[in-house]
Amino acid sequence: MVPEDGRPARKGFGLFEREAALTAAEEALDLLTGLAEEFPARPDRVPAPREPRGPHLVAVPDGTPSRPVILPGREPATGPRLLPAPADDTVTDHIAADSTLADASDSATDSASEADRPRATRRGGILAYAAPAGLGKTTLLAEIRRLAGARGCTVLSARGGDQEQRVAFHVARQLLQPQLAHASDTELRERLGSWYDIIGPALGLRATGAGSPPDPQGLRDGLDWVLTHLAVRRAPLVVVLDDAHWADPESLGWLAAFAPRAEELPMLLVVAYRPDELPDEGAEFTGHRSGQRPLGLAPLTTDAIAQLVRDRVGAHADDAFCRECWTVTSGNPFEAVELAAKVRDHGLEPTAGGAHELRDLAAALKGSGLVTRLERLGPATVRLAWACAVLGTEISPQLAGAVAGLGDEAVADCAGRLREARVLAEADGPDEPLQFVHPLIATTVYRSIPAATRVALHGQAAWCVVDAGLGSTAAARHLLETHPEGDSWAVGHLRAAARENLRAGAPDAARRFLARALREPPTVDDRAAVLFELGCSSLLTEPATTVNHLRAALEEPIADPALRHGIVYRLSQVLAHSDRLVEASELLGREARQTTDARSRLRMQAEKFMWDAFRADEPESPARSRRLTALADRLTGRDLTERYVIGLRAWDATLRAEPSAVAVRHAERALEGGLSWADESRGFEVPVLTALTFLYADRPGRAEELFAAGTAEFERQGWRGAHLSFAYTLLGYIRYRRGRLVEAEDFVRAGLRLAERVGPRTPAQWYAVGVTIEVLLARGRVEEADRIAREHDFGEPFPAAVGRRLDPRGMRNPAWCPWQLHLAAAEAATTPARARRTAQEAVARARQYGAPSAIGSALRVLAEVSAPAEHVKLLEESVDWLDQSPAAYELARSLVALGAALRRTERAGEAAEHLYRGLEAAQDCGADGLVDEARAELAAAGLRPRALHPAGTDTLTARERQAAELTVRDRDVALHLGVDAAAVSRLLSAVYRKLGTDRTGLDQALRNTGRPGGQP
pLDDT tens sequence across 615-647: 877 888 899 999 999 999 999 999 999 999 999
pLDDT higher than 90, residue 345: no
Which is more confidently placed, 77 or 695?
695
Give percent above pLDDT 90 in the chain.
51
Average pLDDT over residues 675-687: 87
CA distance 861 to 859: 5
- Strand, coil or helix: 165: coil
Are 948 and 932 contacting, i.e. CB atoms less than 8 angstroms apart?
A: no
| Averaged pLDDT, 554-570 | 94
Kindly report the CA angle at 777 between 773 and 782, in degrees rounded to 5?
95
Asked if residues 52 and 65 have their Cβ atoms less than 8 Å apart, the reply is no
Q: Please, which pLDDT band fits residue 759 given cuts at 50, 70 and 90?
A: confident
pLDDT of residue 288: 61
- Asked if residue 380 has pLDDT above 60, the reply is yes
Q: What is the mean pLDDT of residues 869-887?
A: 95
- Ranking 702-716, 725-739, 792-806 by mean pLDDT, the lowest is 792-806
Length of the chain in terms of residues written: 1016
Q: Is pLDDT above 80 for 267?
A: yes
Residue 339's pLDDT band, with cuts at 50, 70 and 90, is confident
pLDDT at 949: 61
Give the β-pairing of 69-71 and 56-58: antiparallel
Alpha carbons 991 and 1006: distance in angstroms, whole number: 10
- Angle of the 908-925 helix axis to the 888-904 helix axis, nearest 10: 160
Lowest mean pLDDT among 166-175, 362-371, 900-909: 362-371
Q: Assess whether the previous peptide bond of 47 is cis (omega < 30° from 0).
A: no
Of 495, 506, 502, 501, the C-alpha closest to 529 is 495
d(CA 710, CA 557): 38
Is the sign of the CA dihedral 263, 269, 275, 281 positive or negative? negative
What pairing do the DSSP bridges indicate for beta strands 69-71 and 154-159? unpaired
DSSP conformation letters of 655-679: HTT--HHHHHHHHHHHHTT---S--
State how far the Cα of 87 lies from the Cα of 66, in Å rounded to an integer: 15
Of the chain, the end-to-end C-alpha distance in Å amounts to 96
The pLDDT value given to residue 428 = 80
Q: Is the peptide bond preceding residue 236 cis, with omega within 30 degrees of 0?
A: yes
pLDDT at 337: 86
Q: What is the mean pLDDT of residues 327-343?
A: 86
Q: Quick check: 690 pLDDT over 60? A: yes
Of the listed ranges 409-413, 825-829, 990-994, the one predicted with least confidence = 990-994
What values do phi and psi take at 712, rounded to 5?
-60, -35
Q: Which amino acid does the sequence have at 487? A: D
pLDDT of residue 1015: 34
Q: Which has more pLDDT, 809 or 758?
A: 809
Residue range 303-312: average pLDDT? Answer: 88
Check whether the bond before 557 is cis (ω within 30° of 0).
Answer: no
Give, in order, the Cα–Cα distances in Å from 1 to each of 10, 11, 144: 10, 11, 21
730 vs 752: CA distance, rounded Å: 11
Question: For residue 209, what pLDDT is reported?
Answer: 65
Q: What are phi and psi of 541, to 5 degrees?
A: -105, -30
What is the C-alpha to C-alpha distance for residues 752 and 732, in angstroms, rounded to an integer?
Answer: 11
Amino acid code (one letter) for 425: A
Give all domains of the chain, ordered by start, each with its CATH number: 19-41+122-296 (3.40.50.300), 307-365 (no CATH), 366-449 (1.10.10.10), 958-1008 (no CATH)
The predicted structure's pLDDT at residue 10: 39
Task: Find the range with the poorest average confidence among 96-100, 775-779, 964-968, 981-985.
Answer: 96-100
Give the span between the Cα atoms of 895 and 872, in whole angstroms: 11
Q: Which residue has the higher pLDDT, 145 or 947?
A: 145
Q: What is the pLDDT at residue 849? A: 97
pLDDT in tens, 978-1008: 888 888 888 888 888 888 888 888 888 888 7
Query: What are φ and ψ of residue 126, in 5° steps?
Result: -120, 140
- Of 808, 766, 798, nearest to 617 (Cα)? 808
Report the pLDDT value the prediction gives residue 190, as an integer from 0 to 100.
85
| Exposed / middle / buried, residue 49 (Cβ in 10 Å: 0-12, 13-18, 19+) | buried
- 549, 624, 527, 525: which is closest to 581 by C-alpha? 624
* Cβ pair 328, 362 in contact under 8 A: yes
Q: What percent of the chain has pLDDT over 70?
A: 87
Read off the pLDDT band of 158 (50, 70, 90).
very high
| DSSP result, 314-383 | -TT--HHHHHHHHHHHTT-HHHHHHHHHHHHHHT---SGGGGGGHHHHHHTTSHHHHHHHHHTT-HHHHH
Give the pLDDT score at 521: 94
**DSSP string spanning 897-954?**
HHHHHHHHTT-HHHHHHHHHHHHHHHHHHT-HHHHHHHHHHHHHTT-PPPPP-PPPPS
pLDDT category of residue 964 using cuts at 50, 70 and 90: confident
Can you point out the beta strands (E) in 666-819? none
Arithmetic mean of pLDDT over the chain: 84
User: What residue ranges in 11-75 does DSSP mark as E strands?
Assistant: 56-58, 69-71
C-alpha span between 161 and 446 (Å, rounded): 13
Residue 88 predicted with pLDDT over 90: no
Task: At 241, give phi and psi (nearest 5°).
Answer: -125, 115
Burial class (CB in 10 A: 0-12, 13-18, 19+), 452: exposed
Find out whether 853 and 871 touch, Cβ atoms under 8 Å: no
Name residue 802's amino acid.
Answer: V
Burial state string for 196-207 with b = 16 or more CB within 10 A and e = fewer than 16: bbbbbbbbbbee
Q: At what angle do helices 799-806 and 819-827 cross, to 10 degrees?
A: 140
> Which band of pLDDT confidence, cut at 50, 70 and 90, is reported for residue 123?
low
Q: 278's torsion region: left (phi>0), alpha (psi -120 to 50) or beta?
A: beta
DSSP reduced 3-state for 214: coil
Given a cut of 90, whether residue 253 has pLDDT beyond it is yes
3-class state of residue 555 by DSSP: helix
pLDDT of the residue at 351: 83
| pLDDT tens by residue, 7-62 | 433 333 445 667 788 888 888 888 888 754 444 444 444 444 444 434 333 222 33
Residue 927's closest CA among 899, 886, 888? 888
Residues contacting 1011, CB < 8 A, separation 6+: 64, 961
pLDDT band at 547 (very low <50, low <70, confident <90, very high): very high
Closest-CA residue to 355 (of 397, 388, 327, 396): 327
pLDDT digits 0-9 by tens, 184-215: 888 888 888 888 888 888 998 887 766 677 88
Between 747 and 197, residue with greater pLDDT: 747
For residues 661 and 837, give the distance between their C-alpha atoms in angstroms, rounded to a whole number.
Answer: 27
Tens of pLDDT, residues 917-948: 999 999 999 999 999 999 999 998 888 776 66
